[in-house]
């Protein structure tokens, strides 16, 4: 065991470190085969025209290889889950001992971190962002201790839309006692390089990404975690054997062959984001539009609860974030199509005085 493996192994839950994973014959087999009599499948097939009688590849190797080529990493550095939420779940299962360990969050941030922590019996420690949504390094380190196993950094952050500063993240990688998990779900909209390019520098770095946002595949539920092979092996050891279905894998592989189409749609969405950034502050009911590196805007309005209900009545659904820390009277608004954005602006322009 090398030094990195010793370092990470010391953070793993003892039971996970010693766990012997479930292994199917297709995990163990290498080479070509034409007769599969190992998994008790229905060898005659099912009622659908397309054959789904066989279990999918448990480690999604063709998809991992395609992602490795796209992201310039090794296949062994990739965990693929049923959405990024599965990657969050697996990190908790692998590294957080219930009733003993804690995770650190920077609210306001993505809600599933705390949901998963509560499910896994982990203490949640919070180092709130400043009112301008900038991070407080001293606060993070002051709430951390030897039982702080995971620090979740959403960048661009949800719901604020802003990227965390590079110098702050570097300080966390150097000083936080556990793993630093950078959630780049919206990174394709930021124009900044991914932290996957720096995996070799930091053994405690985990980067999460998704095909749900810029890639437009939210319905397929494909999330990824990138890290060193030792951490990825730990996650693959505890995931469900066939966590991605065959159709998801096949359609994802087709999508990954069309990166130019994705980039063109990102370009259009960024142009629409800029248009909304210019149009919304001119509306009487809008008090502030926060800068965004994502495909959404956090917008402070005169009365978030009433305006949210008004928009719902118009058939326009946004997210009311007024109860989140530092987000009083804020709505989170996804950048829609040009037509949807026009409808939004028109509706907000017609907000009645009592809703302001």
Exposed, middle or buried: residue 132 (CB in 10 Å: 0-12, 13-18, 19+)?
Answer: exposed
- For residue 24 the two structure tokens come to 């199917």
pLDDT tens, position by position, 256-312: 999 999 999 999 999 999 999 999 999 999 999 999 999 999 999 999 999 999 999
Do the beta carbons of residue 133 and residue 327 sit within 8 Å? no
Q: Are 232 and 74 in contact (CB under 8 A)?
A: no
Q: pTM, whole model, 2 decimals?
A: 0.94
Instruction: Answer yes or no: is pLDDT of 33 > 90.
Output: no
Q: Which residue has the higher pLDDT, 354 or 163?
A: 163
Q: Is the peptide bond before 223 cis (omega within 30 degrees of 0)?
A: no
Report the C-alpha gap between 354 and 343 in whole angstroms.
21
In this model, does residue 354 exceed pLDDT 60? no
pLDDT at 258: 96
d(CA 44, CA 32): 21
What is the residue whose two structure tokens read 């095909």?
211
Residue 148's beta-bridge partner residues? Answer: 102
Mean pLDDT estimate for the chain: 94
How far apart CA 347 and CA 202 sit, in angstroms, is 48
The rounded distance, in Å, linking the Cα atoms of 210 and 221 is 8
Report pLDDT digits (tens) over 47-69.
998 999 999 998 899 999 999 99
More confident residue, 33 or 228: 228
Backbone angles phi, psi at 36, to 5 degrees: -115, 105
Domain locations in the chain as residue ranges: 3-257, 260-355
Predicted confidence band at 15 (pLDDT cuts at 50, 70, 90)?
confident
CATH number for the domain running over 260-355: 3.90.1150.10
CATH 3.40.640.10 corresponds to the domain 3-257: yes
Cis omega before residue 108 (within 30°)?
yes
Q: Please write the tens of the pLDDT for every residue from 188-220.
A: 999 999 999 999 999 999 999 999 999 999 999
Closest by CA to 4, choosing from 204, 208, 238, 152, is: 204
Reported as half-sphere exposure (CB side, CA atoms, 13 A), residue 139 has a value of 13
Q: Which residue has the higher pLDDT, 78 or 20?
A: 78
């Amino acid at each position: 065991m090398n030094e990195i493996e010793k370092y990470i192994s010391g953070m793993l839950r003892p039971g996970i470190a010693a766990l012997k994973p479930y292994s199917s014959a297709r995990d163990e087999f290498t080479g070509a085969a034409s007769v599969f009599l190992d998994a008790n499948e229905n060898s005659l097939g099912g009622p659908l025209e397309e054959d789904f009688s066989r279990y999918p590849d448990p480690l999604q190797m063709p998809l991992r290889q395609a992602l490795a080529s796209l992201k310039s990493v090794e296949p062994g550095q990739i965990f693929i889950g049923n959405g990024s939420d599965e990657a969050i779940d697996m990190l908790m299962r692998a590294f957080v001992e219930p009733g003993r360990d804690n995770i650190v969050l920077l609210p306001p941030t993505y809600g599933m971190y705390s949901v998963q922590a509560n499910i896994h019996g982990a203490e949640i420690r919070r180092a709130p962002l400043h009112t301008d949504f900038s991070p407080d390094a001293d606060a993070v380190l002051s709430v951390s201790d030897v039982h702080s196993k995971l620090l979740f950094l959403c960048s661009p952050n949800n719901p604020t839309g802003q990227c965390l500063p590079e110098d702050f993240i570097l300080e966390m990688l150097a000083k936080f006692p556990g793993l630093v998990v950078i959630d780049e779900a919206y990174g394709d909209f930021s124009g900044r390089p991914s932290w996957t390019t720096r995996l070799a520098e930091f053994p405690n770095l985990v980067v999460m990404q998704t095909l749900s946002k810029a890639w437009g595949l939210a319905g397929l539920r494909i999330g990824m975690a990138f890290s060193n092979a030792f951490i990825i092996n730990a996650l693959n050891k505890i995931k469900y054997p066939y966590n991605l279905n065959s159709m998801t894998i096949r359609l994802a592989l087709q999508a990954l062959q069309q990166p130019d189409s994705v980039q063109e749609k990102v370009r259009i969405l960024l142009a629409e984001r800029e248009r909304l950034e210019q149009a919304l502050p001119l509306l009487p009911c809008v008090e502030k539009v926060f800068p965004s590196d994502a495909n959404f805007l956090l917008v402070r309005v005169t009365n978030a609860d009433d305006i949210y209900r008004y928009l719902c009545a118009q058939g326009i659904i946004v997210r009311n974030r007024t109860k989140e820390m530092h987000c009083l009277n804020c709505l989170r608004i996804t950048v829609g199509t040009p037509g949807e954005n026009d409808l939004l602006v028109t509706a907000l322009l017609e907000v009645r005085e009592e809703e302001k």
